[in-house]
Every structure is written in C-alpha cells, then in structure tokens.
C-alpha cells in the first residue's frame, strides 16, 4: 500500500522549501520592524466564529470550509483565514483594554475546499498582519507599505496594488439597494439570485465569465460614498502617494469576505495566470461586534506564501539556493572524523551554517558532496593535517586552498563569513 498527499495539497521539499522559509521571513520582517507582535492561534475554531465573522453568504462558508464534529459534539472548522481567529483571541484575552492599536502578525496554514489548480490549494500558507482598535487611514497605508516592502525585499518587481473603498454602515445601505436593483434584472441562476438578497457584494466577486460579462454596467460603490468615507479614502491614497507606493484604483474590487469596510486592497502578479492575487486585505470596522465584542475598528492583510514563491519563479528569482551552507566539513579517515565532529559543532555555535560528509565517503565522493551542498568553503582534514595541527580550508568558488591551524579554524572562517 502506498500513500500520496491529498488532492489539492503538496509537500514543500528542499531546496524549494528553503524559499518558502525565506518568503515567510521576508514578508513578516517589515511588520516586525514596525512594532507588530507575533500571535499564534489554533488551526481549528468553533464553526460559528467563521460563519458569523467571514459571512454566511461567502463561498468560503457555504462551499469551502473543512468542518467536523468533535468527540464532544462541538462543530469545529479548520481555519479558512486568519483575521477572525486573531480578533477572537484579542477579545478573549482582553487586549483591547490596553494601548491601542494592537499590532499583531502571524504565519500559518489555512484550509479551504477549493477546486484544485495551479496557484490554488486546499492547504496553503499565509503571513498576516492586523492593526486592531484604531480608525486611522495612516494604519491602512502603513500596512500596505509594509506588504509592498516585503515583496520588494524578495526582489519582486511586478506586484501591482489595486485599491478601493467599500464605504461604511452609513453609506453602504444606499449602494446596496442600487446594486440589488441592478442585479435583479440580470440573467442569473437561482443560487446567485438568492445571494443578491443576502449580500449583493458577493455577486460582484463572482469569477464565472458568464456572470462577469453582465456586471459591466453595475453601479460603483465609489459613486455612493458618504463624505466621511470619501475623505478617509483620499487620505489613504495621499499617504500612499507620499510614501512612493504606486496603486491602481479599482472601483469593482470587493474581495471575498463579508467583514470588509472602507479600505480594500489586493496585490496581483500578472505572471501567475488566472490565480494572480498574491495577497490582499482591508479594513473591517464591524467584525468585533459581529462576534460579540465591543466596537474595535481594525485593518489587516494576508499574503500568500505559496503564490509569492510562484511569483518569484515567474520573475526568474529562484535560480540559487536562498540559504546556502557556509562550510562543508570533509574528514578523510576515522581519526579525522573524530577530530572534525566537535569542530563542526563549534562552527555552528559560532553562527556558521555547517554540514559534513557522512557515511565514510572517500575523498572524491566527499568533495562531490561538498560541491552539491552549495557551501562556499570546504574544511578538509586528513592524517597529514592532524600531524601538522592544521586543516585545509578550500574556497569552492575559486579553488584556492589555505592551511589553517586547528585552533584558529573557527575565527578564520568567521572572518571569511563577515
């Protein structure tokens, strides 16, 4: 009997998996530098948290959640997104009673039963950041800038930012009514017509060509914004311009979650085909109240690790290993292996990424392993070196070789690494 990964999932394997780690670090680093603290929530939650928070009418809740009943009879769901869980944790632990905004970042696995295809998986990884408890356009702009900084640090140059405003509880009702009037006149299936009455914005997010073709004349939310929302949106746009961040206004951008208000944004990469979104987010001022908390206006984003790796591949950025070893130790003989083993430990404790040849390989096989490892230097020790109290340090890029006293090997290689 043989086993394979479930459909819609995949395994991260070296060396490609090293890029996944690099992407996680790079996307979270700007948020960490901006004062966002790390939060980790359970991989499953009470099903009602997502049905209320994400939205009863969303595809995520109606079609894509992995829901099961626990042995205790509770309905639980593997988390399909991160924001609702973060908000639940903030409310449960009373963080809103302290300094605001609460700045948090996270990284983890998420689960949606979607149609498996390139760039869309049923088990995927995201890095997220949330700023909770403050209604300030500077926070919206800050988060967008942090995401763009993360993409830029990976060398990505083709990430585009789409920007929109979805209005607030004051101006959304008038737009909702106008949109419903328009949608009721279209040729839509029964399920979509039912969605018009529950949340008509979800119809605008429909990806089917036969539906999208009928939406060209749909009323735009930006034409129905109240004065406060217009001013808020203009402030976000102005702050992004001042920060040198290019964006494209997209009045039809609504995203796929019910909790968004005002600022909504998406990051696209045109090298990914149909699944071009590499991340996105927005403001969700009413989510806390939807799940039983006090008013806690908030904004955040989630960036896809899997799709960011694909975007880097599309731009030809995966040509080298991201975390190559610094040193590969080559012992020639049993005594050399006994002598070099503790030296490898010293090099690692000194901060140098170090591996060694295992399995009693001969000189030729061990040096081939050193070349394949991607290390910059080979540390070679044989019987003659032991007698002389030295080791050979070979630059694998140039072929230059230097005899270094054993007591000085660590400092010598640290100097090369600096």
Instruction: Place 200 in a pLDDT band, splitting at 50, 70 and 90.
Output: confident
Measured CA angle at 363 (ends 361, 367), to 5 deg: 90
| Nearest-angstrom CA–CA distance, 329 and 203 | 60
Quick check: helix, strand or coil at residue 239?
A: helix
- Encoded tokens for 168: 């607030």
Kindly indicate the confidence band of residue 359, based on its pLDDT and cuts at 50, 70 and 90: confident
Is 120 strand, coil or helix?
A: strand
- Tell how strand 327-331 and strand 377-381 pair up: parallel
Give the pLDDT score at 21. Answer: 94
pTM: 0.89
323 vs 3, residue with greater confidence: 3
Residue 314 has pLDDT above 90, yes or no: yes
Block residue for tokens 């790796």: 309
Under a CB-based contact definition with an 8 Å cutoff, are residues 378 and 393 in contact?
yes
* Closest C-alpha to 23, from 306, 335, 376: 306
Query: Which H helix or E strand runs over 343?
Result: helix 334-349
pLDDT at residue 116 is higher than 80: no
pLDDT over 70 (residue 39): yes
What pLDDT score does 142 carry?
98
Nearest partner of 119 among 250, 311, 253, 258, judged by Cα: 311
All residues at 6 or more sequence positions from 356 whose CB lies less than 8 Å from its CB, including other chains: 328, 329, 330, 331, 340, 341, 344
Q: How confident is the model at residue 418 (pLDDT cuts 50, 70, 90)?
A: low
Q: Looking at the predicted structure, is the pLDDT value of residue 32 above 90?
A: yes
Asked if 74 and 42 touch (Cβ cutoff 8 Å), the reply is no
Instruction: Give the rounded percent of residues in the chain with a pLDDT score beyond 90.
Output: 74
Lowest mean pLDDT among 13-27, 42-56, 101-115, 314-328: 314-328
Give the chain's mean pLDDT: 92
H helical segments located in 352-408: 363-373, 383-388
CB 128 within 8 A of CB 146: no
Predicted pLDDT at 323: 62
Q: Which pLDDT does position 208 carry in this prediction?
A: 87
Length of the chain: 418
**Residue 372 CA neighbour count, 13 Å, CB half:** 10
Strands 123-132 and 159-165: unpaired
Q: How confident is the model at residue 76 (pLDDT cuts 50, 70, 90)?
A: very high
pLDDT at 42: 97
Q: Which of 285, 282, 286 is nearest to 81 (CA)?
A: 282
Strands 390-395 and 159-165: unpaired
Of 62-76, 302-316, 322-336, which gets the smallest average pLDDT? Answer: 322-336
Q: Which residue has the higher pLDDT, 171 or 118?
A: 171
pLDDT of 101 reads: 97
Stretch 295-316: mean pLDDT: 96
DSSP assignments along 261-279, one per residue: EEEEEEEEEGGGTT--EEE
pLDDT of residue 256: 63
The pLDDT tens digits for 366-395 are: 889 888 888 999 999 999 999 999 999 999
Q: What's the mean pLDDT in 177-202?
A: 89
- In tens, the pLDDT along 80-93 reads 999 999 999 999 99
pLDDT at 388: 96
CB 294 within 8 A of CB 317: no
Measured from the Cβ of residue 89, the count of other Cβ atoms closer than 10 Å reads 17
Query: What tokens were used for 191?
Result: 């399920």
Domain architecture of the chain: domains with CATH:
15-166+247-315 (3.30.930.10), 327-415 (3.40.50.800)
Long-range CB pairs of 276-283 (<8 Å, 24+ gap) are 277/304, 277/307, 278/151, 278/159, 278/303, 278/304, 278/307, 278/308, 278/311, 279/126, 279/147, 279/303, 279/304, 279/307, 279/308, 280/255, 281/143, 281/147, 282/166, 282/255, 283/140
Handedness of CA 300, 305, 306, 311 (dihedral sign): positive
Q: Would you call 326 exposed, middle or buried from its count of C-beta atoms within 10 A (0-12, 13-18, 19+)?
A: buried
For residues 296 and 133, the answer to whether their CB atoms sit within 8 Å is yes
Q: Does 254 score more than 90 pLDDT?
A: no
Confidence at residue 372, expressed as pLDDT on a 0 to 100 scale: 86
Region 322-330: mean pLDDT is 84
C-beta separation of 221 from 251 below 8 A: yes
The per-residue pLDDT for 243 is: 97
User: What pLDDT score does 156 carry?
Assistant: 96
- pLDDT of the residue at 57: 63
Residue 86: its pLDDT value, please?
A: 98
**How far is Cα 64 from Cα 9, in angstroms, rounded to an integer?**
14
Q: How confident is the model at residue 61 (pLDDT cuts 50, 70, 90)?
A: confident
Which residues are 379's β-sheet partners? Answer: 329, 393
């Amino acid at each position: 009997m043989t086993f394979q990964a479930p459909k819609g999932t995949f395994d991260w394997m070296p060396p490609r998996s090293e890029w996944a780690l690099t992407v996680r670090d790079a996307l979270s680093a700007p948020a960490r530098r901006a004062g966002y603290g790390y939060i980790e929530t359970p991989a499953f939650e009470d099903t009602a948290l997502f049905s209320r928070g994400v939205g009863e009418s969303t595809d995520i809740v109606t079609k894509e959640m992995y829901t099961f009943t626990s042995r205790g009879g509770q309905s639980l769901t593997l988390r399909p997104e991160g924001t609702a869980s973060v908000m639940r944790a903030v409310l449960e632990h009373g963080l809103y009673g302290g300094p605001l905004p609460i700045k948090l970042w996270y990284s983890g696995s998420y689960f949606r039963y979607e149609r498996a295809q390139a760039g869309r998986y049923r088990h995927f990884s995201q890095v997220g950041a949330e700023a909770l408890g403050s209604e300030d356009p500077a926070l919206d702009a800050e988060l967008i800038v942090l995401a763009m900084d993360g993409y830029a640090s990976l060398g990505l140059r083709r990430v585009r930012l789409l920007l929109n405003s979805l209005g607030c509880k004051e101006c959304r009702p008038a737009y909702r009514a106008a949109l419903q009037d328009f949608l009721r006149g279209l040729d839509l299936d029964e399920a979509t017509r039912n969605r018009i009455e529950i949340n008509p914005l979800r119809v605008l997010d429909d990806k089917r060509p036969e539906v999208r073709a009928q939406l060209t004349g749909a009323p735009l939310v930006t034409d129905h914004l109240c004065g406060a929302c217009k001013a808020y949106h203009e402030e976000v746009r102005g702050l992004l311009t001042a920060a040198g961040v290019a964006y494209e206004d997209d009045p039809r951008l609504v995203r796929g979650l019910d909790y968004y208000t005002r600022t909504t944004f998406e990051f696209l990469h045109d090298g990914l085909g149909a699944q071009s979104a590499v991340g996105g987010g927005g403001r969700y001022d009413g989510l806390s109240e939807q799940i039983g908390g006090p008013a806690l206006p908030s904004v955040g984003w989630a960036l896809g690790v899997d799709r960011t790796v694909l975007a880097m591949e599309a731009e030809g950025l995966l040509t080298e290993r991201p975390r190559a070893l610094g040193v590969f130790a080559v012992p020639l003989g049993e005594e050399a292996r006994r002598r070099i083993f503790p030296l490898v430990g010293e090099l690692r404790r000194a901060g140098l990424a170090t591996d060694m040849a295992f399995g009693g390989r001969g000189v030729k096989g061990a040096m081939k392993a050193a070349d394949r490892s991607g290390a910059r230097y080979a540390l070679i020790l044989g019987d003659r070196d032991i007698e002389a109290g030295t080791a050979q340090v070979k630059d694998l890029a140039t072929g230059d070789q230097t005899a270094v006293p054993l007591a000085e090997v660590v400092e010598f290689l640290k100097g090369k690494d600096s």
